[in-house]
Structures are given as structure tokens and as C-alpha cells.
A and B are shown apart, each in its own frame.
Chain A
């Protein structure tokens, strides 16, 4: 049973006492127990616990289950600290060896190490995948046990919120977020501080905060990792937003397809309530705020804010025209602030380190960092956080280790079904919201799928159109019919039955769908088609030639 926190001092003393309790000469073995579960992490974890007990090493080894450690390609992964060794592809059979050689003697087991160009790299600090990243949002992910609030507090968790609640007034918080330049990480890139200000200024007795965790883009798993690996960072972000805006009730709308994330969130909310960080009279003040989880039911369009609101209200998730914007009239027609998971996880860091510090990271148009879910034809698939302005080449080749086999890089798909394919000629482009838009993609939520010379770009374009056509809610004609027409044409072309006029028809249909659709889904649906026509017209032509 945890003690209720009644003041800022209580929070600080909880941190200090945790530090004291855990400052022992133990070796910490951190095992990823989220994404890595798919490749046997649970069995490895159980074996570790068993061996530690059997060999009576409880005073020497601390086994911690963590969230995503990033290098998913090597799953199941673990970190042994000290001395900071990273192991991948761990099996239950080798656990006794790891304990006897690495944990107790500090010796390296070569075959478990990450290798590059034939060279084994045992220490995490030397692995380029890690050394070139900047972990702000993922500061705790893969380090703490996400199911233990004390470990979050031990890393100064909830202290930014305590400051926002006790030391400064809401306008200061909003100004800090505005000044930091933070923009929405869900894809659209709207300035977060401005959004908060609109909602604060809206007059109403009731206001709501929503965390959009409906990560629906195929190829994106950043939010999943944050929710699973550091759920308290999101809750703290929501608390700060609630304090700034003047809200007492929040919702987290999360995909039902993410069972571990839901589980960790539920647990985190329960622990925060127990500690008096959620509920009434938080930290002994008159501030009240509580959270509820709403599970999505499998509709991509619910990532759109007005559709998401309809879904929380218990209706079909269909968007409605804006204005009025949710900041003025959202959930049950009350002012509502909606932020994405990654955006919210940025908030506590900005507040504790200051907006000036945050602005030093990234570019003028895009401050801070961005998490990318690196997947597809790339060696080091996984979760990557880099400062804005990092180039695609650095992400794919330096961090990602390049393309497997002897094939060549062809394109990087950014922004999922709303984005586009960035070709090799733009590999050195510093990534921020505007630069990515200029080359025909969007920053999006952070899905980054690498494609090599084997991938047909026309097929990719058809693939995304198939997806959005399926997910179009059908409310407005341009999206409902436009996506269907474009899909018909693309299918025809990929099957070798296309004709010359198809390209012009596609472009025209794309223009109409983009300009006349009601919501973001339709307005961005043609992007994959337009970007592949722009950069890979030769592939369309080849298919048209083989046809009639």
C-alpha cells in the first residue's frame, strides 16, 4: 500500500527514500517485456527470476521488466548495468551463462552482442543505433518498470506537474509550452501551446482533456511503445494540461489492438489514484482531475479528432465539419483539448527543463525531437528518437544500419496513408514539418517504412488506397467515391490493364478528393498516389506499357 502524497515535499521524500532503498551494489538486468514478448521475453524473464532465486543472488541482481528498449530487430533484448552491456536474441538456455559470466564476472558473451560490419559491439554506449539518438520522450522507456510508479517518481516523475500545480499559474505553463515551439506529434503539427490557450479562453463550467492514443497508421508503433513503456509520462502530461486549461476530467482513447498498453495504463491510473495524483484534492490542494480509458473498436477514422469525440460519446465515429473546433465545442459540446500521446509525453520535460532548453533541440520550424518507428527493408528495425532536423540518411543508414542484403534503397514511406514516399534524392533533407511537406510526404505520426529496389511503388500506392478506401467512413461523397475510383484505377494499372488516360484521371480525382473531403482522412488520402506519380512515374509507365 502506497502512502497518499499530501504535498510537494511528500513527492520529493518519496523519490529520495526510493533512491536510498535501491542504492545497493546490485547489477540491474533490464528485460524488455513489451514488444519483445512476441519472441519469448516472458520465458527469458521467468528463467532469470528462477535462476536468481535458485542461486540466492537476490542481493546481487535486480531483474527489472521494462518497456521497449528500441532495437526491436534483436528481440528479445536486455541491458545489463553495470557495465552497460546490451544483449539481443536471448534464449532461456543461455540465461545461466549470462548470470555466471556477464553479471558476476563482467565478461562478454560474444554471440549475444550487436554486430556491425562483422565487429561485435557489446557496450550500449558504443552502438551507433543508440549513440546517435536523443531520448527526451523515451527518457524512461526501456529503463524503468512501467508498472511501478515509484520508479517513475524516482526519476523526478510528477515533479513538473507539482510545479505547475503549486508554484506557477496556468498562464505561465501555457506560455512555456507556446514558447517551446512544441507542435502536435500526431501528424498535423498544430502548435500545442496555442491549442491549450484556445481551450483555456473558452468559457464553460466543464472542460475535457483527451489523449488521442488511437494509433491507426499502418506502420506506426511509437505511441504503443510510450504507453507501454512509460504510461506515467502521458498521465503527467495530461495533468499539466488539465491544470493549464482548467479541466477536471480526461479520457484516453486507445486502440483495442494494444492490449499491453491498455493494461499498463489501467495499472498506472490506479497507482496514481492511490498516491493522490489523480482524483480529488490532488497533493492536498483543491485541484481535482480524474481519467478514464475508452477503448477504440477498430476504426482508423477515429484518429480524427471530431470522429474520436463522437466515438467517446458512444456513437459511430464519423467526423463533422470544423468550426466549431473542439477547443470551443468538443466532447458533449464542451471545450475539449485533444493531444497525441507523444505530444503529452513531451510536456513534463519541457516544464522541468524550460522552454529555452527545449528550443535548442531541433530546427526553427520543428523544435524538440521526434520518435520514428523504423520498419520495412532496414537492418535495425525499431524505435528511434532523434532531434528534428536529422536527415533521413542518418536515420536509415547510421542508426538503422542500412538496407539488408545487397539491394538498394529506393524510398522511405513517411506518414502512412496520409503521407508519401521520399526517394533517394532527398535522403539528405533535414526532417521537419515543412521540409517533409515540400517533398510530398508529411511528418505524420512517425511511421517510417524503408523500401528497397524490390518494392513496387505502384503497388504501394494501391495498397494505401485500398486501406483508406476501406476505412473511409462514407459520410462525404468526395472521400467515399473518390477513394473507390482511385483504387479501381490503381488496381487496373497494377494488373496490367491500365490505359494512358489513367494517370490524368488519377490526378484529377486526387485533386477533388483532397480539396472537397470533409476531414483529414480524405484530404490526405491521395498523397501516396501523388508522391509516387511525382517520383516514380517510370514505374507507372512500365506497367502501362506492358498493358494494352
Chain B
């Protein structure tokens, strides 16, 4: 697949924002780059490599090591289902399966209409709400297979 040309000015701005202390901020630079584009486009990584004079292999090594980074575009809404211990014990697997069926994706995938990306998180630290998920920055707790369908529906084709 041929990547369309992207505006690389944000990368320049992000990298130059770190002054002389760039090397140790590589992860932060990549985090900001991903915030900007929604994912890490190949061209942006090449630009980071060029501007910082860091081999692309090292950048790729970091991007593939940390689960936060993604090399493929994501959907408009990120659904993060918590699979922590409390959620596991309280039946998050059924909830997760329901969402997978509803959106017709598996963990890590994005729906064909780029509306949703489904992810799992090891624990989002709100165990008292188990089973819990986040849609973008909002928490939804005490989920059941019924409520989760309604929540996802609310985000389908919306203008949020």
C-alpha cells in the first residue's frame, strides 16, 4: 500500500521543542508524534530519525517494544477494555466477546469504517468498577453484556 504524503512540519516542531536534550527524550518525542497523527506514519519516523540523527532501527525497536505505539492508523474512537485481575474475575471476557462480535474485529484491530479501534489494557487502575472499559477518555464501569452494547451504539456514527 502506498502511503499518502503527510505534513511533516509537526515532527520538526516536536523535535525542536526538546532543545539539546533530544536523545533521552526519544520516547516522549514519539509519544507526541503519535498524539499528532493518531499513529506513527513511516514518513514521520524517518523524519524523526533524520532530525535526531538516530538510526531508524533504534526507533523501530522502541516503537515495537512499547505497547502504546502503533504503526497503523486507528479509528476515531479507541475502546480500551481492561483485562486486569479484578475485571477478569468479574467476567470481562464475556463483555469483550460481545464487543468483538458487535464490531467484527479482534483485539488490536480497527473497524473497516475507521470508527473504532479495539484494544485491551492490562489494568487501568479502576478495579472497583470492574469490569471496566474506556472509550477515548471516558470510563464505563460495572459493564454487562447488555450495557456494553448500548455504550458502543452511542458512539456509532455519532459526531463526538
Contacts and interface: CB of A to CB of B under 8 A. Distances in A.
A217 B25 CA distance: 25
B69 A314 contact: no
A449 B89 contact: yes
B123 A299 contact: no
A443 interface: no
Interface string B55-79: 0000001100111110000000000
Interface in B3-45: 23-28, 30-31
Contacts of B125: 215, 220-221, 224, 257-258
A382 B128 contact: yes
Contacts of A460: 85, 88-89
B68 A314 contact: no
A105 to B, nearest CB: 32
Contacts, number: 123
A375 B127 CA distance: 6
A463 interface: yes
Interface stretch (B110-118, B129-137, B152-160): B129-137
A297 B31 contact: yes
Contacts of A313: 24
Given A297-B68, A299-B65, A257 B128 contact: no
Contacts of A311: 27
A80 to B, nearest CB: 22
A39 interface: yes
Interface residues of B, number: 37
A471 B124 CA distance: 16
Contacts of B23: 314
Interface string A233-270: 00000000000000000000000111100000000000
A218 B83 contact: yes
Contact of B122 (A38, A72, A216, A224): A216
A316 B57 CA distance: 12
A139 interface: no
A257 B122 CA distance: 10
Nearest to B54: A314
B126 interface: yes
A38 B127 CA distance: 11
Among A220, A297, A311, A382, chain B packs the most CB atoms within 10 A around the CB of A297
A75 B66 CA distance: 33
A135 B121 CA distance: 30
Contacts of B86: 218-219, 375-376, 381, 449
Most chain-B CB neighbours within 10 Å: which of A300, A312, A315, A451?
A: A315
Contacts of B89: 376-377, 449, 451, 455, 460
Interface of A: 35, 37-39, 72-73, 75, 215-221, 224, 256-259, 294-300, 311-318, 373, 375-377, 381-382, 413, 416, 447, 449, 451, 455, 460, 463-464, 467, 471, 473
Given A35-B128, A314-B24, 7 more contacts: A37-B139, A218-B83, A218-B122, A314-B25, A377-B89, A381-B86, A382-B128
18 contacts: A38-B132, A39-B141, A218-B122, A219-B123, A219-B127, A224-B125, A256-B31, A257-B121, A294-B27, A295-B28, A296-B66, A298-B68, A299-B65, A318-B65, A375-B128, A416-B85, A449-B127, A460-B88
